């Protein structure tokens, strides 16, 4: 696979963003998904804004935020939470304290089940250097009893973004699960899986028409980072200030998706 | 002789299965023509037929819209899941009987089948 660090389109340069990548704390996330390796890979592949999330937790958020200054990548951190309806939704923040605040609130709404590493994979806490700090014993891949609307509010109240993940996917996607976008749902964008083009998605789910969509890799291993990147004008990706000022613009400015999809 | 399935109404089902009526109590005399069990709303939109009872553990307000679109007879929320106020008010607005039970979907479906809903 070839990677492009930026490309000219009209007057503005387009750059790649990948807002959905897992760390080693997700049971399904590869052990290699630790800050230095993830951030170096993203930098090498020209990802300008990278979102690192784990299922139901932001337990590695601090490590990624602390590691970020050594790399030429803007890092967002957060959680991928399963709502009561079974819908996966991203909550993204520009620093770890708000992410950890949401982490604590989500933890209270998870069923008390234990992970089975042999069956589902290990859940590793790591530091900024990538060293293991410990293992999470709770099962993180489980549905909370929070509604998708409550999850959106929890992200927004803390200055973050709310983005339903892989909305067209049969497993845990918003559209198959809830049939259509709920009336009044306040989210910032709708994520499509990396192999789904906009026109295919619209044909199957006309309800997406006129709504902002973006693509992410949902990478669980280093190889996949950037594989589902979205392309946005450079200026939008490099805007300054807190996320609540530039994040909504960023996810509404996607010009096109990864190769093979039509934006 | 098996009961005429057109004779089974939402009210009859609610009494026989011990369901609690949460909304749409003015529409309980609707006849039941069939039933389906699913928690994926997209499946119900594609497969639900007019007059079906829908047994589900989904409680999101979208369930009511899906039931109205497909002209379903009623929604039965199983396993003790509790719909929120927005779902209840949507059900009143759309005149969709919304009922609940602490019984799991499997048991409710079996008892509905025994009642002659096929």
The set of long-range contacts for A206-211, using a CB threshold of 8 Å and a minimum separation of 24, is: A207/A175, A207/A180, A207/A181, A208/A167, A208/A175, A208/A181, A211/A181
Predicted local confidence at residue A263, as pLDDT: 57
Q: Grade residue B1 by pLDDT with cuts at 50, 70 and 90.
A: very low
Q: How many other β-carbons are positioned within 10 Å of the β-carbon of residue A223?
A: 13
What are the pLDDT digits (tens) for A61-93? 999 999 999 999 999 999 999 999 999 999 999
Work out how many CB contacts closer than 8 A connect A with B: 37
Q: Which residues pair with A50 in a beta bridge?
A: A18, A75
Partner-chain contact A179 B61, CB within 8 Å: no
Tokens of A77: 């951190």
State ipTM: 0.84
Q: Do A182 and A192 meet the contact criterion of CB atoms below 8 Å apart?
A: no
Q: Rounded distance, CA A192 to CA A217, Å?
A: 9
Nearest to A247 by CA among A112, A37, A76: A76
B67 touches chain A (CB under 8 A): no
* Residue to test with chain B: of A151, A172, A179, most B Cβ within 10 A: A179
A49 contact partners, CB below 8 Å, separation of at least 6: A17, A18, A19, A73, A74, A75, A76, A237, A250
| Average pLDDT over chain B, rounded to an integer | 94
Give pLDDT, residue B16: 97
- For the domain that residue B21 is a member of, what is the CATH number? 3.40.1390.20
Q: Hey, are the CB atoms on A177 and B59 less than 8 Å from each other?
A: no
Contact A53, A22 (CB under 8 A): yes
Q: Where are the beta strands (DSSP E) in A7-85?
A: 7-9, 12-22, 47-55, 74-82
Q: Does B45 touch chain A (CB under 8 A)?
A: yes
CA nearest to B44 within chain A: A179
Distance CA A254, CA A262 (A): 11
Question: Are the beta carbons of B58 and A85 separated by less than 8 Å?
Answer: yes
Across A49-62, average pLDDT: 98
**Residue B108: which domain range?**
5-114
Residues of chain B with Cβ-Cβ distance to A176 below 8 Å are 40-43
Left (φ > 0), alpha (ψ -120 to 50) or beta: where does B99 sit? beta
DSSP state, residue A141: S
- Whether the predicted pLDDT of B5 surpasses 60: no
Q: Which CATH number fits domain A9-252: 3.40.1030.10, 3.20.20.140, 3.40.50.11540, 3.20.20.220?
A: 3.20.20.140
């Amino acid at each position: 696979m070839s990677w492009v660090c930026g490309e000219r389109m009209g007057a503005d340069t387009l750059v790649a963003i990948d807002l959905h990548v897992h760390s080693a704390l997700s049971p399904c996330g590869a052990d290699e998904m630790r800050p230095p390796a993830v951030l170096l890979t993203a930098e090498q592949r020209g990802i300008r804004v990278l979102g690192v999330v784990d299922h139901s937790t932001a337990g590695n958020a601090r490590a990624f935020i602390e590691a970020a200054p050594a790399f030429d990548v803007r890092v967002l951190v957060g959680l991928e939470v399963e709502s009561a309806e079974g819908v996966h939704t991203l909550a993204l923040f520009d620093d770890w304290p708000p992410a950890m605040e949401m982490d604590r609130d989500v933890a209270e709404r998870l069923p008390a089940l234990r992970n089975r590493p042999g069956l589902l994979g290990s859940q590793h806490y790591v530091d900024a250097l990538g060293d293991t700090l410990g293992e999470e014993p709770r099962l993180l891949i489980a549905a909370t009893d929070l509604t998708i609307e409550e999850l959106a509010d929890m992200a927004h109240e803390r200055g973050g973004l709310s983005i339903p993940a892989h909305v067209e996917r049969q497993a845990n996607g918003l559209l198959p699960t809830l049939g259509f976008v709920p009336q009044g749902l306040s989210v910032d964008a709708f994520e499509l899986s990396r192999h789904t083009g906009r026109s295919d998605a619209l044909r199957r789910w006309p309800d997406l028409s006129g709504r902002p969509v973006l693509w992410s890799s949902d990478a669980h291993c280093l190889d996949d980072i950037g594989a589902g990147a979205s392309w946005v004008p450079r200026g939008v990706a490099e805007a300054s200030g807190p996320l609540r000022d530039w994040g909504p613009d960023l996810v509404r400015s996607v010009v096109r998706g990864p190769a093979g999809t039509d934006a | 002789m098996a009961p005429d399935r057109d004779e089974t109404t939402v009210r009859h089902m609610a009494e026989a299965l011990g369901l609690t009526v949460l909304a749409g109590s003015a529409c309980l005399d609707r006849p039941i023509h069939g039933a389906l069990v699913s928690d994926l709303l997209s499946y119900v939109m594609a497969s639900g037929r007019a007059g079906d009872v829908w047994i589900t553990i989904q409680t999101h307000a979208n369930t009511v819209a899906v039931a109205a679109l497909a002209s379903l007879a009623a929604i039965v929320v199983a396993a003790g899941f509790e719909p929120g106020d927005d779902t209840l008010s949507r059900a009143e607005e759309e005149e969709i009987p919304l009922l609940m039970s602490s019984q799991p979907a499997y048991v409710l479906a079996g008892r509905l089948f025994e009642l002659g809903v096929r």
